[in-house]
Amino acid sequence: MMRFLPPALAALMVATAGPAAAQTAPRFYFGADLSYVNEMEDCGAVYRVGGQAYDPYAIFAETGHNLVRVRLWNDAEWTDYSDLDDVRETIRRARAEGMQVLLDFHYSDDWADGDKQIVPKAWRPIRDDVPALSQALYDYTLRTLNALAAEGLMPEMVQVGNETNPELMGELDWKEKREGINWPRNAALLNAGIKAVRDASAGSAIQPRVMLHIAQPENVEPWFAAATEHGVTDYDLIGVSYYRKWSTNDLAGLGSTIQRLTAAYDADVVVVETSYPFTNDGADASPNLLGPDTLLPQYPATEQGQLKYMTDITQTVITNGGTGVVYWEPAWVSTRCSTRWGRGSNWENATFFDWRRGNELTMAGHWPTAEYRWPSPVGK
């Protein structure tokens, strides 16, 4: 039942973008990474539609999002969030609104991304003992998923690592000390995580699909070719981060990569991270990570430009055989609290909520309800 959308906006809702039933894969994943939203609410954030405050999970569900992505750190002592309790809350709230969940294991105590993969401090003594580290990763993944399953919170999808361009669970100085990825070690760790997901799902009503995730399309094909060569094959989805600021590919290049991936691998391809600013202004002193240097000529930093970017990238993914797009991070608004890089937010200009209007939902918040051109069924 629609709880807040005015009739004109409610009419935009389409069946293909509606909330998905648990476990049944939707036609297309319209996703939002809401890893910050619980923290933002605790910091006083209020999210509005038509001037009225609403539950942010309800806002995303009722604007056609059918997938919530959430990150998990091993033991991040510098924050009270993105731990198992925080993940439980996110899954409960997303599931209550009919949305599926993608759980993103970083396998680190801090941000793991395309530039760094830092071994959790508890596992640092066994970093170079591949069998022991593989067992620790397996046990942690299995234990986490079993705990969630016991509470009816098993996610529909699981990422085994986040933007794993570098070797899993290394150190900052590995860029200088090592040449490339030690693939026998890397493959053993990835396969340990994958096996844990499969084993956890054996007795579960929800059997999570496994995603492996690489940042920027130009890096995806070489990485998956190496992974295949070293026996990493048991996955269901290929996740791709696409931020034009850090990528050499334009949207056409992204589309071509997706098309080749879908032809080469028996896996669905999802752009699991993307974002675009609706303004170059900021609400606080923390600098915006997506500033003017991220803009493309055809997409100005306006609400209309943000919406056009989202609809165009989504159409690109659909046209080239991809199965989803996830926006990062549409609810990381500015608050009185501090996050990793200072007080406020480094992303408020690229959220779906305009602080200049009391965190009113932007036009791009309705991107799942746009009219997309879907491929004709085979044989039609």
- Catalytic residue annotation: 163, 273
**Could you give the CA distance from residue 260 to residue 217 in angstroms, rounded to a whole number?**
11
State the amino acid at position 88 in one-letter form. Answer: R
Cβ contacts of residue 228 below 8 Å, gap of 6+? Answer: none
Closest CA to 36 of 352, 278, 367: 352
For 53, the enclosing helix (H) or strand (E) is strand 52-54
Residue ranges in the chain assigned as alpha helix (H):
7-10, 37-42, 56-62, 84-96, 130-150, 174-177, 183-201, 220-229, 251-264, 303-319
Per-residue tokens: 31: 């996703």
The SS3 assignment for 163 reads: coil
**Contact assessment for residue 135 and residue 188, using Cβ atoms and an 8 Å cutoff:** no
Q: What phi, psi does 156 have (nearest 5°)?
A: -75, -25
**Could you give the CA distance from residue 59 to residue 366 in angstroms, rounded to a whole number?**
10
Pairing of the two strands 338-339 and 342-343: antiparallel
Q: What phi, psi does 320 have (nearest 5°)?
A: -100, 15
CB atoms within 10 A of CB 129: 12
Pairing of the two strands 100-105 and 67-72: parallel
Torsion angle of C-alpha atoms 92, 97, 99, 104, degrees rounded to 10: -30
Tell whether the torsion through CA atoms of 243, 247, 248 and 254 is positive or negative. negative
